[in-house]
């Protein structure tokens, strides 16, 4: 398949992508979190093509993207007070809500679940494309399944050229990690995936919010995942990733005594000069927003440099760093070295 590549999100490009989506095609579009691989959420055949293009397991449901708060109601059975409060506080933005689905949503979108995940993104190009398509768009991240999510059109091109109808370049994604996912389908709101809307922010609006154990820990054998996506190996470069737990001094000395030509360190900016291996700085120690923005690009860079082993700091489990913890621990297959 020939993939149409739009270098700029011009009005003409947005119109054309809307047309492709209405006709049942697939297009990769920028959002503020990561690039999404979009299809008409009402068209089961179009949605099936997303799973094929990504090599995504059939039991991993998709997020439906809308361009106005009023577009939520037709997709769900009812809009509870908690959803209204979250929408008022965080939409448009990097927050996905899970609610019991309406009949409008085909089972292909939810991978057979009775609930649907919905997000209203803030990226102006994403909004313009949803409006041009005239339908809600089902869109997971636009990477091959298992790879780090794409935060630039170049990343999408690496994974998807020849597999989808179109890619539209809207620049780098500002957030850089996928949306926060919160389920409102149970008695108590539950964080299923951390993101830039933090657990602390959700609690400030809703009061009690539970954290699913899969946010920080590997799924126990035989357990059922509340968010099916969390059970798969994810976000992985080809290199073997190890997370190091210890002081910054111990991080530097461990790496300096264990590195070779194909070892890279995902380090804080201020450490790069002290490390004797290849370094990929991801921001300052407490600058979680920059770290989130750079994380997936850094993992892809390690592959591009031909690295076979990557060492990274164990992220803090607070604020936006909880999202970095969640992604990096999966990229590392939960391999931690205590230094
Ligand atoms: P992606 O868009 O690639 O970041 O993947 C979407 C994420 O949302 C995956 O981790 C899914 O498991 C999760 N998700 C989507 N729909 C649901 C749902 N109905 N219930 C629980 N998790 C969901
Ligand atoms: Mg994904």
Residues 41 and 189 in one domain: yes
Residue 36 phi/psi, 5° resolution? -110, 150
Ligand 1 pocket residue status of 324, Cβ below 6 Å: no
- Cα–Cα distance, 126 to 93 (Å, whole number): 11
Are 180 and 248 in a shared domain?
no
Q: Are 192 and 214 in contact (CB under 8 A)?
A: yes
Pocket probe mutation, ligand 1, options 64, 100, 117, max atoms within 8 Å of Cβ: 117
Residue 222 maps to a domain: no
- Is 112 exposed, middle or buried (CB count within 10 Å of its CB: 0-12, 13-18, 19+)? exposed
Assign residue 258 the CATH number of its domain.
Answer: 3.40.50.11030
Q: What is the pLDDT along the chain (339 residues), one digit of tens a residue?
A: 999 999 999 999 999 999 999 999 999 999 999 999 999 999 999 999 999 999 999 999 999 999 999 999 999 999 999 999 999 999 999 999 999 999 999 999 999 999 999 999 999 999 999 999 999 999 999 999 989 999 999 999 999 999 999 999 999 999 999 999 999 999 999 999 999 999 999 999 999 999 999 999 988 777 778 877 776 667 788 899 999 999 999 999 999 999 999 999 999 999 999 999 999 999 999 999 999 999 999 999 999 999 999 999 999 999 999 999 999 999 999 999 999
Q: Same domain for 166 and 301?
A: no
Same domain, 54 and 140: yes
Closest-CA residue to 148 (of 327, 333, 329): 327
Whether ligand 1 lies within 6 angstroms of the CB of 99 is answered as no
Is there a single domain that holds both residue 44 and residue 87?
A: yes
Please report, for the domain that includes residue 155, its CATH number.
3.90.870.10
Q: Is 319 left (phi over 0), alpha (psi -120 to 50) or beta?
A: left
- Please report whether residue 156 resides in a domain: yes
Question: Ligand 1 centroid to 60 CA: how many Å?
Answer: 6
Residue 225 falls inside a structural domain: no
| Domain of residue 295, residue span | 240-338
């Amino acid at each position: 398949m020939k993939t149409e590549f739009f270098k700029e999100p011009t009005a003409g490009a947005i119109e054309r992508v809307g047309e492709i989506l209405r006709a049942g095609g697939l297009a990769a579009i920028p959002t503020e979190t990561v690039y999404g691989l979009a299809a008409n959420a009402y068209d089961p055949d179009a949605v099936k093509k997303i799973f094929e293009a990504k090599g995504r397991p059939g039991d991993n449901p998709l997020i439906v993207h809308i361009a106005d708060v009023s577009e939520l109601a037709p997709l769900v059975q009812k809009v509870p007070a908690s959803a209204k409060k979250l929408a008022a506080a965080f939409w448009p933005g990097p927050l996905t809500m899970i609610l019991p689905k309406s009949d409008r949503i085909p089972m292909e979108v939810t991978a057979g679940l009775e609930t649907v995940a919905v997000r209203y993104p803030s990226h102006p190009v994403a909004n313009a494309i949803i409006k041009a398509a005239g339908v809600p768009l089902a869109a997971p991240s636009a990477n091959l399944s298992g790879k780090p999510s794409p935060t630039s059109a170049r990343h999408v091109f690496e994974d998807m050229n020849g597999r989808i109808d179109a890619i539209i370049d809207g620049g780098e994604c500002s957030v850089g990690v996928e949306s926060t996912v919160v389920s409102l389908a149970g008695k108590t709101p539950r964080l299923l995936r951390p993101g830039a809307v933090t657990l602390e922010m959700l609690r400030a609006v809703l009061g009690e919010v539970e954290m699913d154990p899969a946010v920080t820990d590997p799924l126990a054998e035989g357990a059922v995942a509340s968010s099916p996506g969390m059970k798969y190996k994810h976000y992985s470069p080809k290199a073997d990733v190890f997370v190091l737990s210890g002081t910054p001094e111990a991080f530097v000395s461990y790496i300096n005594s264990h590195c070779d030509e194909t070892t890279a360190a995902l380090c804080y900016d201020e450490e790069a000069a002290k490390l004797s291996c290849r370094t990929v700085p991801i921001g300052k120690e407490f600058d979680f927003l920059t770290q989130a923005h750079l994380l997936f690009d850094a993992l892809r860079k390690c592959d591009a440099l031909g690295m076979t082993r990557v060492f990274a700091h164990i992220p803090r489990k607070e604020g936006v760093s909880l999202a970095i913890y969640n992604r990096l621990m999966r990229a590392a297959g939960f391999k931690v070295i205590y230094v």
